[in-house]
Amino acid sequence: MSGAAVRALRVTRVVDGASGDVDDRVAVEEPLEVRVNNSPFAVIMRTPGEDVPLAAGFLLAEDVVHAADEIAAIEQCDDVEDDARGNVLNVTVTGEAAIRVEARLGERRQIITTAACGLCGRRTIESIRSRVSTVGGQWTVPAAVVSRLPDALREAQDAFALTGGIHASALCDLDGRVRLAAEDVGRHNALDKIVGRALLEGLVPLDRTLLVVSGRSSYELVQKALLAGVPLVAGVSAPSSLAVELARATGITLCGFVRGTSMNVYTHPERITR
């Protein structure tokens, strides 16, 4: 990542009751305004860098665009205050995407509470499945390959090594080699960045890839994987109940607590072999 992702500062460090000033680094967090066809659509709190693929991946996950040919241009906006310069993008969409964005603008921005409302959760899953009912990926992968994914992700986390405070996602091939990786203060943003790059390169659906994410696997991360066509999601921590339900309903192999030689396989274990 570029130097814009990390900021140096002085902090007071306390160890065993003794304190002193030391140099430290923190991950940068700034707002990115995304406009679609010149209309405000969303403000994303993100780590600067890879803003164009972030916007593309975000709009795929928001069901505005379905393919790269629906994106005519993604450009920085110049009609902004000086302090917002570089933090405002306009995405020009065409065809059916121009129709979909009008519907989405009318819905902005609903909050899904996944921990309390099972009925809402089931309705949410059905609404997603109405567009993408299941993933592809009629292949198997050795458990040893899945076990190595967190280490491969960690090797791609330059900003995490400096700050200890940033998430990451990576798309790997079926041998576990990292093909695309990104870091961000937001877990969802890191995934949108790599999916957006794949979308702009014409690689979606990603039906021959493995996704590894830092932290837990939420419903929204599994949803983004589904819309990108990713058949296997591995997280270093736990999934949520709604993430498990969505993965089970759509054919995604969902793995959690992938650490060392152990993991929990919550759905579709048939893709993983010894």
Dihedral sign from CA coordinates of 87, 93, 98, 101:
negative
Tracing tokens 């093909």 back to the chain, one arrives at: 179
Give the total residue count for the chain: 274
What is 237-249 written as a DSSP string? SPBPHHHHHHHHH
- Nearest residue to 61 via CA among 169, 161, 145, 141: 169
Residue type, 179: R
Measured between alpha carbons, how far is residue 162 from residues 6, 28, 165 in Å? Answer: 8, 12, 9
Gap between the Cα atoms of 235 and 266, Å rounded: 11
Structure tokens at 64: 């505005």
Residue-by-residue DSSP string for 112-170: P-TTT-HHHHHHHHHHHHTT---------EEHHHHHHHHHHHHHT-HHHHHHS--EEEE
Rounded to whole angstroms, the Cα distance separating 248 from 37 reads: 36
Q: List residues with catalytic annotation.
A: 117
